[in-house]
Structure 1
Amino acid sequence: MKKKSIGLLILISLLVSAAAHFFFLQESLDGRYMLGPNDGLSQILPFKQFIYDHYTEGNFFYSFRFGLGGGFYSQLAYYFSTSIIFFLTIIIVFLLEMFQVIDPPDIKFWADAAIWVSIVRLSLILSITTWVFRYLQIEKTAAFTGAVVYGLSVMYFRHVVFWEFFSDAMLWIPLLVIATEKIIREGTPAWFIFTVSLMLFNNFYFSYINLFFLAMYIVFRWMIPLTANERGKIEQCKLFITSGLISFCLSAISFIPAAYGFFNNHRPPYEAEIPVFAAVDQPLFASRYIILPAMFILFIWIISLYKHSLFRLFAYLSFLLILLHYSPIAGSAFNGFSAPQYRFEYLLSFTVAGCIAVGLHHLKSVYFKEIVLAVIASLTVYSIGSAFIDPMMSVASVKNIIFTLLLMTALLLVLYRWKTSIVFLRCLQGWLIISSLLIVNIYQFTLSENAGVKKVSKDFLESASYNSVEQQQLMNHIQQATKKPFERIDWMIPTRNNTPIVQRFYGTSLYSSILNQELLFFYWHDLQIDMGRESVSRYATLGNRSNLHSLLQTNFWVRPKEQEANIPYGFQKFSETKNYVAYKNTLPLPFARTTKSVFSEKDLQQGSVLDREHAMLQGIVLKDETIPHQSWNAPVKNRINQASIEAIGGTYQNQKLSVQETVGGIDIIPKEPNQNTVDYYLGFHIQNIDGLPFELKVNDYKTTRKAFDSIYKTNVNDLMIRVPKDEKISIRVPKGNYVVKSITLFEEDYQVLEEVVNKDVQSPTVNINRNKVTIDYNNQTGERFMALPIPFEKGWKLQINGKKQPIYEANYAFTGIALQQGKNNIELAYTPPFFSFSCILFLIGLVSAYYVCNTKRDCH
C-alpha cells in the first residue's frame, strides 16, 4: 500500500470508528460513560487507576494495596498489567500529566478516556484488517467493507463496555492471518514471531483462544491452498514450531508470571451439566455476541462463490464457528474447560467479514439467477428464524429493523448484478458500512437501556454508591492517624470489593478473576471467614472477628450508621460523619510478631476455627511439618450440646430444614454461657436443596449464597459466623428446603488476644518500600520465628544478614521467617515468579529471532 493510501485508510478508519461510537459520544455530552455498571465500575476503572499509579511511581510488581497484598503484575495480567494498548495509553497520559496538560488522572479521568481509547483501538482494527485483506488480494473497497463488518461487530462493543481488555483480542486475529500466510506463501517467519510474541505478552487468556483459531486456520489452509508454490507442510511445521518457541521466549517475561498467576488461582469445578448443543440465542436478529450480517446470509447461498478458494476458506471456517457457537461444550473449551463462556465469537466475526470481502470482490462474476435464488433462500431463512422469536421479548422489536436491512441489502445486490454498474456496487458497499453503523449504535442503545449502562454517570461516580466526597474525607482522616508501615481499614461499598483501590487506602477486600489461592483457602476453608457474599473471585472483610483484625493489621472498621451493629470486640468510636462511623482497634498487634511457640497446620486440622485463631495469636502455625513444633493443648469446647434448637416458620428434622413461611429457620438458645463470653462463633453447613440462591441472616449479620448452577459458586457450604453474645441465635432463610447440619457453637472471651496484646515484647523495626520489606530485629530472647501479615506467594526472596534463607508458609496463608540468635537484618524482595528465568528466555529469544529472520531460504 502506498503512503497516500495508508494515510487515507487511517483517516477513513478514524471517521468510521467515531461514527460507530456515535451513541456513546452523545451520552458523554450528558455526563454518561461507555462503561458497564458492574465489572466496568468494579474492575476496569479501579485496575486502570491502580496500575497507572504504580507504574508511574516505578513500582511494577507488588503492592500492599492489592487486597491484603499481592503480586499485581502476574495477577492483573488477565486485565491490564501487560496490555500493550494500556502501556501506550499510560505513556501518553503520563506525558500529558508531566507537561501539565491534564491533572493527575483519577477514576473520572479513566471513565472519560474509555471512549477515546476505544475509537483509536477500533480504527487500528479497521486499518490492520483492511491491510490483511489487501494482502489476500481483495480489492481495496471490498477489503475495507469487510474490515468494517469485522470491527463493527456487536462483540466488540459488548467487550469494550463490560470488559474493555477483551476487545484488544480483535487486533491479533488479522495479524495472525497475515503472519500465517507469510510462512505458508513466502516461508518468512518474522511476522509470525512478531505477532505471536506480542499476543502472548499482551494477554495469556485471549492468546489461548487465538491459538485455537490459529490451529483451525492452519488446518483449513492445508486443505484449501490459495496460491501456487506454497511451502511444503513439513517446512511450514518446522517454521511454525520454531517461530512459536521463539515467540514464547520473547514473551516469557509476561507470559510465565501471568500463567503462574492463573494456575495459582483456584476455581472450583463447574458441577452443572454442560450439554453438547443448546439454543444459545438468535444470531439472525438479536444476540449479545454475534449478529450475522444479511450480506453473509445472502452470499453463502451463491454456489459460484465457492469456486474461489479464499471464499471457501472463510465460509467453511464460519460454518464451523457457527456450530461451535451453539455448543456449550465448545464454550467451556474456549474458557479453559471451565464453565461455558461465549467470548470467542469475535473469531466468527472475522471469518464472516472475510466471506463478505471476498464475495464483494468476485460479485461481478456471479450470475443474476444465483442472486435471485440467494435472496429467496435468505428471506426463507429469516422468516423461519423470526417464527421462533417470542413476541413478548425485546428481540421482537428489532425484527422489523433486521428485515428492513435484509431487504435493502438484497435490493442493492439485485440492482448491481442487474446493471453491473460500479455506482450500484459502491452503493452496496456504502450501505453495508451504514447498516453496520446502524446495528452497533442500536446495540449500544440496547446496552444502555437494558444493561444499566445509562446509570454510569459522573453523578454516580461521585455518589455514596461508588465514591462520595464524604467517604473520601473520612478515609483521608483515618489514614492520617494510621501508623507505619500501614494499618488496614475494613470498609467497602456493598458489592464494590475494589473500593480500597478506588479510594486509595489499605483495605481488606478485592475483586479479581485471578487471586492468590492461598488467600482463597484461608477464607473458604482454614478460617471459614464469611465475606457477606459468596463468590469465587472476591474476598472481603474479616467477618468482624477481632482476633483476625489484630493479626492482619486491620485496625479501623467503617460502616454506614444504620449498619453499625456487630462492631468487632475491642473497637472504639474514632470518628464519624453525617452517614458513617469509624471505629479504631484498641487491641492492635505489631506488623512483625516474634514467637517461641510453633504449631502445625496438621495438628490443628481437627481443632475449631477459634483454636486456629488462638494458635496464631499465641505463636505461629506452619504448614511445614518437618519444623519441630508443639501440640495444641488448649482446645475450645463445642457448646452446641448445651444449647436447644427450635424450628421457626417450618420444621427441622434429620438435618433438613423446611421453611413454609416467607422467612423462617432455626433458633439456637445457649444454656448457661460463660459469664465472660463476649461473642459466639456459630458454625454450620447449609445448602438449598432446590439449588436456588438465597439470603442468609444470623441475628444482625447478613450474607448471600449462590445458586447451584452459578459459575461463581464456591462449592463451600461450611460457614462460621461470629455473633455478639445474646440470649438466642437466629438463623433465617427464605421459604424453601435446606440441608442444615454440622452445627457447632463456641464461646470467645478474648482473653488470649488481650494477653498477647499486653505482653511486653520488643517490636522489630519495619520499613516497606514498594516491593521490598526490611526488618531489623535483635533476637536476645531466643525467639524462633517471625510472623508477617504478608500473603505467602511465590516470588518473595529472603535474605537474613546477607544470606539467602527459606520462607515458610505461616498462619495458613501468610509469611513466616526462621530467626537467628542475635542480630537479624532481614530483607524481603519480590519479583514475579520465575522472572530471572524469563529474562534469560527473552535474551535467547532475541538471539534466535535474529538468526531465524536473517536466514535465507530458497524460493519455491
Structure 2
Amino acid sequence: MNTMKSRLYGLRHIMVIALLAIISHVYVLWRFLAPDDSKRQVFMTGANDGLEQMLPMQLYLYEKFKEGIWFYDTDFGLGGDFYTDLAYYYSTNIIYYINILFIRAGELLTGFDTSTVDFWAYNAFFISILKAFLIIYFTYRFLGTLGVGPLYGILGGFIFAASPTYFRFTVFWSFFSDVFIWLPLTLWALELLIRKKKPGLFIFATAATLINNFYFGYYQLIIAIVYLGIRLLFRKQGDLPRIGTIKLAVPSAIIGAGISTVAFFHAVRGFLNNDGREYDVDVPMFAELDWQDNIFYENYLIIILFIAIQALFTIKLYKRYFYKVFAVLTIVFMLFTLSPYIDMLFNGFQQPQKRWHYMLVFFHAVLIAQYFAHFREISLRQYLFSLIPVYIILAFSIYWKEDVVVWVYLVPVIHLVGFLLVYLKGRQPLLQGTNAVLLVLLTVMVSASHTNTQIYHDGITDRNHLFYISSNHYASDLQKHNVELVQDMKTPEQKLDYKVRNQDNTPMYMGFNGTSIYSSIIDGDIIDFYYNDLKVNIRYETISRYSTFQSRSNLFSLFNVDYMMREDDTYGIPLEFSPIIDDGTYTIYENEAPLPFMRYATDIYDPDTLTHPLEREHAMISGIVTDALEPTASAEPMENVLDEVSVEAQNATYSDGVLEVPEDGGGLSFNFDPLLDQYQNADVYIEMHVEMIEPNKRFTINVDGYPNERLFATSKYRTYADDLLYRVELEEEVPITFSSGKYAVELQSVHVEDYEVLEQESARPDPRYTVSEQGNAYQITLENPRAGIASVPIVYRDGMKVTGDDSGDLEAFRANYLMTGFTPGADDRVITISYSPPYYTLTLIISILSLLISFVYLDLFGIRRRLKRLFK
C-alpha cells in the first residue's frame, strides 16, 4: 500500500512538472497563436542563426539519416563529413535523436511532411517543452538530495527552465539549451555517488554529456570538477571518505568517457580540423558596464530574480551546508560576469563568449529553492533586513534603465505574502500555495518581458515568422520551382550555384547539390582553399561561411558547378556562363565551358611551386596539383601587368601606401585602356593588401559593383586574410571604392585571364561515364576505362576510400587542394568512392566495450540485484 501511495505521489509530481513545462512556454505559445494577426505565427527560432543554421541542419540531417547516409555527402557545402562537422550542432546530439525518433514514428503513422522548414519550426515548440520537462525533473531530483521538499524542488527547476537565459539559448541556438538538462543531472549523479555510493547515474551523465555536445562537455567538466572539489574539501556528515569518493568518481568518469568515444572523438576532430585562426585582440580585465550589463534587470542574456538577493542577505541560513555552497557559488559567478577573462576561460581561451551564464542561473535557482524550503527558520527582523538591498537595487536599476518593467509591480505583492509566511512561521498551506503560484507567475513574467524586448524585438519578429519562410527572402514557390527545373536538367554530380540572398544553407533546406554553407565548424582545408590557396573573396568576410566562387569561371568548371541561378539585378555572372531560362525574376545560367566529373591527368604539379591563384587554377585544369606524387611539370608564371595600368585616387588621397577616404564612395580608379587592344573577352584579377587603420568599424570595398563587406579589426569572426583578390570584367575604367576611413593599401598585382586554358580543356572529348550515389558511396561506371592518374571534385577528407572493381584499393590522395585523386587500373570499369571518419570502427569498439564494462562495474554495486527486486 505504501509503495502504491508513493508511486501515485510521484506520478502527481510528474504531472505537475509536465504542466509547468507547458506554462513556462506560455508567452512564446501565445505569440504563435495570438488572436491579434500582427503578433501571430512568430515561431520559436531566431531569425538569424535559427533560420540560417538550426532549422536547415535539423532538416538536412533527418533526411540524410532517413536515406541511410551517415557520414558524408557531396551536397554538404562543396562536400564533406557532416557527421564530424555537425557534431557541434546535431549529428551526435541525444536530444535531437530522441526528437527524430518521435518525428519518424509520427511520419510513418500519419504521413505528415517533414521535408519543409515550416515543420521544423513547429517542432521547435514540442522539443523545447520536452526539454523543459527534463530540466525541471532533474533539478527537482537534485534538490531532493539536498533536502528540499517536492514543492520548492519543482519550483527551483521551474525557475531554471523558464529563465530568460534558457529561452535566449533555445530561440537562437537550440542545441545550446540542452546543457540545461545535463547540469542538474550531473550534479544529482555526483551527489548519489558521494553520499550513497551509486556511480551508475554519473556514468550515464558523463557519457550523455560528452555524446550530446563536446563543446558544452568542456563547460560541464569545469563545473563538475569545481563541485566535486568543493564536496571533497568541505565534506558533509554522511559523505563517503575522500579517497573512497575519488576511487568511485575517476573510474566512473573514465567509463562514461569511453562510452562517448564514438561521438566525442569525432566531434573533437571536427573542432581541431576547423580553421585555427587566433583571436588577436587585447581583452580587458573588466567589462565596460552599461544598463544592459545589469544582471538583475533586463540584461540581454540573464536576469537574477530579486529573491536570490534576499537569500544571499539571509545570513542565518548559511549555517546549512548546501545553502552556503550555493550562496557562495552564486556570489562568485555574479562577480565573474564582470570580467571578459572568465568568458575566455569558458570558451577554451579563445574569444570571449558569454555561454557559461546558465551555471549562474542554476545556482541562483537552487539557492532560491533552499531559501523557501527553510523559510520558517527566518525571523521577521532578518526578513525585513533582506528586503533593503532588493529595493536599493531595483530603484537603481529603474533609474539606470529609465523604465519600469512590468514584473516590478509584482515584487511588493510577493514580499507581502512572504511577510505573512514569516510572521506565521510558514504553517499556512494557503499562503504557501499562494507563494508558490506567485513564484511561478513572477518567473513567467520576467521571462516573457525579456523575450518580448530582448528576443522578439523588431527585426527578429519580421523574420522568425511563418510568412517569412515562404517568402522570396527564404523559400518562395517560384524559387523552389526554378530549383526543380535545374534538378531535372542536370546530372547527379553537377552542382547548382544558388542561395537565397544571405541564406548560405539554402541547399540544405531546398535539397539540391550547391556550393554554400554556414556553420561554425568548417573543415580548415576548405577555409585555406578559399582564403589562402585560391583567395576566393566571398562577399561577406567570415570564417563561418563560404559560398560561390567569386564569379570565377575556372573554379566553377573545376568543381562541376554547371548551373547558376540569380535574380536579374545580381552582380557578377562568370564569363563562361550564358542564360538559358529567364522568368522575369530569376535567370538560370549554364556553363559553356564545363569539365568532366572524372578527369585524367598526365601533368603533375607540385603545389609549393605555384605562386598565384591563377597559376593554381591553370595547373588544376591542365593537370593535377598534389604533393602525393612526383611532379612532372612546372607552371608558366602569370604575367603581372600592374605597371601597364594607371591607378588614380578619386574623392580620396593615396600616398605612400595610405589611402584616406573622407566620405563613403571614395577610392581608386583603375584604367585598363592599354590592355583592351590585346584582350577582347577577358577578366582582370586585381590583388591588393588592405587593412583599415582607423576607425575600428565594419567597412565595404566595392569593386565595380561587387560589395565586399569587411569586419572591424576586433571582430570575433575576422579572417585576418587581408591579401585580397578581386575579379572584374575587363573594361576601360574599373572603380574600387571604400567606406570612409583611413587604410593601408598595397597594390600587389594585376593579371588578365582570357580562359584559353579552360576552353581548350573543355573542348577535349569527355571520358564516357555515369555517376550514381549508392547509400554511403559514389559509383562511377566507365564505358571506356583506362589506366592513369585521375581526380574527381569530391572534397577529400582523411578516411576517403577509392576502389576499382578490378584493382581493388586505389589509394586515394588529396589532389587539387580539395579534390580526391586516385590511380585507376586499365580494367577498372566501376570506381567506388566511399568514406567513413578515421578511426570510426575503433571508436565504436571502444564505446561498446566501455558500455559492457559499465555493466560489470555497476554489478559490483548490486545494480542487478536491485533491478531484480524492482521487477519481481
Q: Normalising TM by the smaller chain, what interval? A: over 0.9
| Partner Cα distance (1:778, 1:583) in 2 | 29
1:22 to 14, 17, 26: 26
Give the structure 1 partner of residue 603 of structure 2: 597
1:479 to 455, 480, 487: 487
Structure 1 residue 739, shift from structure 2 partner:
1.3
Worse overlay, 718-727 or 812-821:
812-821
| Partner Cα distance (2:666, 2:706) in 1 | 15
Instruction: Say if 1:786 and 1:816, in contact at 8 Å, map to a contact too.
Output: yes
2:89 to 79, 90, 95: 79
| Partner Cα distance (1:292, 1:80) in 2 | 30
Matched, 1:7 2:17: no
| Partner Cα distance (1:857, 1:236) in 2 | 17
1:787 to 764, 787, 791: 791
Give the structure 1 partner of residue 630 of structure 2: 628
Question: What are the equivalent positions in structure 2 for 1:196-235 lying under 5 Å apart?
Answer: 196-228=206-238, 230-235=239-244
Worse overlay, 568-577 or 404-413:
404-413
Give the structure 2 partner of residue 681 of structure 1: 685
Per-residue deviation, residues 711-743 of structure 1 (Å, max 9, x unmatched): 111111111111111002211112211111143
Matched, 1:341 2:353: yes
Give the structure 2 partner of residue 663 of structure 1: 665
Structure 1 residue 188, shift from structure 2 partner:
2.0
Question: What are the equivalent positions in structure 2 for 1:50-89 lying under 5 Å apart?
Answer: 50-89=60-99
Matched, 1:439 2:449: no
| Partner Cα distance (1:106, 1:150) in 2 | 32
| Partner Cα distance (1:506, 1:300) in 2 | 57
Structure 1 residue 706, shift from structure 2 partner:
0.5
2:457 to 439, 449, 462: 449
Gaps of 5+ in 2: 34-39, 864-872
TM-score, with length taken from structure 1: 0.95
Name the SS of the counterpart of 1:823 in structure 2: coil
Structure 1 residue 760, shift from structure 2 partner:
2.7
Amino acid at match of 1:106: T
| Partner Cα distance (2:632, 2:645) in 1 | 33
Per-residue deviation, residues 561-617 of structure 1 (Å, max 9, x unmatched): 122x4221221111122311010011111111111110011111xx22111100000
Per-residue deviation, residues 111-130 of structure 1 (Å, max 9, x unmatched): 11211221122122112211
Instruction: Say if 1:189 and 1:852, in contact at 8 Å, map to a contact too.
Output: no
| Partner Cα distance (1:593, 1:566) in 2 | 28
Matched, 1:807 2:798: no
Instruction: Say if 1:461 and 1:467, in contact at 8 Å, map to a contact too.
Output: yes
Per-residue deviation, residues 51-74 of structure 1 (Å, max 9, x unmatched): 111111111211221101111111
Instruction: Say if 2:603 and 2:633, in contact at 8 Å, map to a contact too.
Output: no
Give the structure 2 partner of residue 96 of structure 1: 106
Matched, 1:299 2:311: yes
| Partner Cα distance (1:677, 1:629) in 2 | 33
Matched, 1:361 2:361: no
Give the structure 1 partner of residue 45 of structure 2: 35
Matched, 1:609 2:618: no
Give the structure 1 partner of residue 466 of structure 2: 458
Instruction: Report the count of equivalent residues.
Output: 843
Name the SS of the counterpart of 2:600 in structure 1: strand
Amino acid at match of 1:660: P
Per-residue deviation, residues 416-457 of structure 1 (Å, max 9, x unmatched): 111224233332222111100111111221221256135322
2:589 to 583, 587, 603: 583
| Partner Cα distance (2:413, 2:807) in 1 | 77
Structure 1 residue 277, shift from structure 2 partner:
2.1
1:244 to 248, 253, 258: 253
Question: What are the equivalent positions in structure 2 for 1:112-131 lying under 5 Å apart?
Answer: 112-131=122-141
Give the structure 2 partner of residue 414 of structure 1: 419
Question: What are the equivalent positions in structure 2 for 1:417-816 lying under 5 Å apart?
Answer: 417-420=422-425, 421-422=427-428, 423-446=430-453, 447-450=455-458, 452-483=460-491, 485-563=492-570, 565-604=571-610, 607-624=611-628, 627-673=629-675, 674-690=678-694, 691-776=696-781, 783=788, 785-800=789-804, 801=806, 803-816=808-821
Instruction: Say if 1:172 and 1:199, in contact at 8 Å, map to a contact too.
Output: yes
| Partner Cα distance (2:764, 2:443) in 1 | 71
Structure 1 residue 824, shift from structure 2 partner:
6.2
Worse overlay, 192-201 or 120-129:
120-129
Pick closer, same or farther for the CA change 1:57–1:778 going to 2, 3 Å. closer
Question: What are the equivalent positions in structure 2 for 1:330-409 lying under 5 Å apart?
Answer: 330-387=342-399, 389-391=400-402, 396-398=403-405, 401=406, 403-409=408-414
Structure 1 residue 679, shift from structure 2 partner:
0.7
2:323 to 311, 336, 339: 311
Matched, 1:289 2:298: no
Instruction: Say if 1:221 and 1:313, in contact at 8 Å, map to a contact too.
Output: no
Give the structure 2 partner of residue 147 of structure 1: 157
Pick closer, same or farther for the CA change 1:689–1:359 going to 2, 3 Å. same
Name the SS of the counterpart of 2:73 in structure 1: coil
| Partner Cα distance (2:138, 2:92) in 1 | 21
Instruction: Say if 1:640 and 1:670, in contact at 8 Å, map to a contact too.
Output: no
Give the structure 1 partner of residue 869 of structure 2: none
| Partner Cα distance (2:742, 2:218) in 1 | 42
Instruction: Say if 2:562 and 2:590, in contact at 8 Å, map to a contact too.
Output: yes
Matched, 1:46 2:56: yes
Structure 1 residue 27, shift from structure 2 partner:
2.1
Structure 1 residue 247, shift from structure 2 partner:
0.9
Instruction: Say if 2:504 and 2:517, in contact at 8 Å, map to a contact too.
Output: yes
| Partner Cα distance (1:487, 1:780) in 2 | 21
Structure 1 residue 279, shift from structure 2 partner:
4.4
Amino acid at match of 2:377: S
Instruction: Say if 1:651 and 1:657, in contact at 8 Å, map to a contact too.
Output: yes
Matched, 1:257 2:261: no
Give the structure 2 partner of residue 817 of structure 1: 822
Structure 1 residue 19, shift from structure 2 partner:
2.0
Structure 1 residue 671, shift from structure 2 partner:
4.5
Worse overlay, 823-832 or 36-45:
823-832
Amino acid at match of 1:572: S
Instruction: Say if 2:25 and 2:162, in contact at 8 Å, map to a contact too.
Output: no
Structure 1 residue 816, shift from structure 2 partner:
1.3
Per-residue deviation, residues 528-570 of structure 1 (Å, max 9, x unmatched): 001111011000111111110110010111111122x422122
Instruction: Say if 2:665 and 2:739, in contact at 8 Å, map to a contact too.
Output: yes
Name the SS of the counterpart of 1:518 in structure 2: helix
Name the SS of the counterpart of 1:665 in structure 2: strand
Of all paired residues, the percent bearing the same amino acid is 29
Instruction: Say if 2:593 and 2:762, in contact at 8 Å, map to a contact too.
Output: yes
Amino acid at match of 1:82: T
Pick closer, same or farther for the CA change 1:731–1:174 going to 2, 3 Å. same
| Partner Cα distance (2:626, 2:162) in 1 | 55
Amino acid at match of 1:667: S
Structure 1 residue 37, shift from structure 2 partner:
0.9
Amino acid at match of 1:658: E
Instruction: Say if 2:68 and 2:776, in contact at 8 Å, map to a contact too.
Output: no
Give the structure 1 partner of residue 833 of structure 2: 828
Structure 1 residue 265, shift from structure 2 partner:
0.6
| Partner Cα distance (2:784, 2:251) in 1 | 55
Amino acid at match of 1:254: A
Per-residue deviation, residues 463-522 of structure 1 (Å, max 9, x unmatched): 110001110000000110002x32111111222100111211111100001111111110
Give the structure 2 partner of residue 188 of structure 1: 198
| Partner Cα distance (1:252, 1:470) in 2 | 45
| Partner Cα distance (1:856, 1:100) in 2 | 45
Per-residue deviation, residues 366-423 of structure 1 (Å, max 9, x unmatched): 2221111111233234334555x253xxxx342xx45434333332222211122423
